Amino acid sequence: MKKIIPILLFFISVNVYSRNYNRFVTFTFQSGINKSRFINYDGSTGRIGSINNVNLRIGRKHFIQVVGELSIYQSKAPQLINNTPVTNAFNFGYFTFPFLYGYRIGFNDSKSYAARFYVGPETGLLLWAKDKQNILNQDNVKKLLFNALAGVGLDFKRLTVDFSFHQAMTNAYQLKTKWQVISLSTGWKF
């Protein structure tokens, strides 16, 4: 009987804690898709990639959000190979670190439903770079990217949905070539 009481208290406290959707500190695991393309590169087209992240949000109405994110960007763009134009498919993997400021608007008194708006800088570290033609020169790919990020999100109790736009501030590949990425992700708040 003495062992059952602490176990029951633990489950009661977890249940009470789990109903508080408006905590000061939250962790969220998210997964989704992105569409990326080169800008300032004639003939580039975007392709669907993936995004997976874990974020830490501190604050309620005004918040700071720190994210660790694995992003796979895919795009097609023409290249000149032996003086012949060839459309090449690119696949880049970056681990990005957005640092965001946001504002949250609650839809109801319990704040279990809310909208979020956020902006901030993002740094990306290159993990891999591949292309379909196997001619990608790793030296031409930037190892470190700097982006501006803006997005909106919705919270439905523990479920979150985010739509964000990433605009590269530095070149990603070759001269005057930058990324432009839109992403849609959904996740679960803890």
Interval 3-41: pLDDT, tens:
555 554 454 444 444 456 667 888 899 999 888 877 766
Per-residue confidence (pLDDT) for residue 35, from 0 to 100: 87
Question: Residue 21 is which amino acid?
Answer: Y
Distance CA 69, CA 56 (A): 12
Q: What is the dihedral of CA 50, 36, 130, 174, to 10 degrees?
A: -150
| Measured CA angle at 121 (ends 115, 127), to 5 deg | 110
Between the CA of residue 147 and those of 44, 91, 137, 170, what are the distances in Å? Answer: 19, 18, 22, 7
Distance CA 60, CA 22 (A): 7
| Bridge partners (DSSP) listed for residue 52 | 31, 70
With a threshold of 0.85, does the pTM exceed it?
no
Structure tokens at 9: 């208290």
Instruction: Walk along the chain (190 residues) and give the pLDDT tens digit of each residue.
Output: 555 555 544 544 444 444 566 678 888 999 998 888 777 666 666 778 888 989 999 998 899 999 888 888 777 766 655 666 667 777 888 899 999 999 999 866 566 789 999 999 999 898 888 877 666 666 667 788 899 999 999 998 889 999 999 998 887 766 567 778 899 999 998 7
22-189, what's its fold?
Porin (2.40.160)
